[in-house]
Amino acid sequence: MTRVFRAEPYDLVFDPASTALVIIDMQRDFLEPGGFGSMLGNDVSLLRASIAPCKAVLEAARKAKMLVIHTREGHAPDMTDCPPSKKARGGLKVGIGDEGPMGRVLIRGEKGHDIIPELYPAPNEPVIDKPGKGAFFATDLELMLRNRGIKTLIVCGVTTEVCVNTTVREANDRGFECLVVSDAVGSYFPEFNRSALEMIKAQGGIFGWVAASTAVIDAIA
């Protein structure tokens, strides 16, 4: 039975049976003091504001028995899946693969790479480890979604202008409808966050829809 998200730029009709929640990169390295984001000089509280709304949406999706997928950006310990240009960019003293306060930065299996405790995946929730910004690049995400008959994605996570926006654009090109939860995403740069959300819903929803967590929860509850 179809339902309706009250969203911008207009309402989105969806079927809960063919809808999935995708939570992007809610990792300790990005959201916790001492992580990679903090080491770069960012105020992690700007990202942490998204945790409570994201958790509320996650709990609603679990109660509705929707498919929930989590993603983590990072690389294999030998870094063979990390382009040299990505490693070198920024000329950082401590960058990807280097030892930080929570282990090697953005390396799979390290403490910092893992998802924050507040949003930790349930045993039946797939976790996609992605080497790039977009969740579809070099992963099995599209295969998982197609196999489950998923047509609509509810998207939360960080950061809005980078991994969230890239994933939504990738999903759009693959024919998925995307609803971004405005208060369950975040950026270290508030102006980037605002612009990224505007880009998604511009021109009649060129990349997707935007709605607050309360509207999303009301629709799927």
Per-residue pLDDT of the chain (221 residues; tens, 9 = 90+): 899 999 999 999 999 999 999 999 999 999 999 999 999 999 999 999 999 999 999 999 999 999 999 999 999 999 999 999 999 999 999 999 999 999 999 999 999 999 999 999 999 999 999 999 999 999 999 999 999 999 999 999 999 999 999 999 999 999 999 999 999 999 999 999 999 999 999 999 999 999 999 999 999 99
Q: Which alpha helices (DSSP H) does the chain contain, by range?
A: 28-31, 36-39, 45-48, 51-63, 84-88, 141-147, 165-173, 190-205, 213-220
Q: What confidence score (pLDDT) does residue 33 get?
A: 96
Q: What confidence score (pLDDT) does residue 220 get?
A: 96
Q: What confidence score (pLDDT) does residue 110 get?
A: 98
- CA 25 from chain centre, in angstroms, equals 5
Q: What confidence score (pLDDT) does residue 76 get?
A: 98
Active site residues: 25, 130, 163
Phi and psi (nearest 5°) for 3? -135, -175
Tell me the C-alpha distance between 144 and 69, whole Å.
9
Q: What confidence score (pLDDT) does residue 71 get?
A: 99
Nearest Cα to Cα of residue 69 among 16, 1, 17, 140 = 140
Q: What confidence score (pLDDT) does residue 147 get?
A: 98
Q: How is residue 69 written in tokens?
A: 């997928």
Q: What confidence score (pLDDT) does residue 197 get?
A: 98
The pTM score is: 0.97
**What pLDDT digit, counting tens, does each position of 139-162 carry?**
999 999 999 999 999 999 999 999
Residues 6+ positions from 114 with CB-CB distance below 8 Å: 27, 28, 72
Q: What confidence score (pLDDT) does residue 195 get?
A: 98
The secondary structure of 116-131 as a DSSP string is PGGGPPPTTS-EEEES
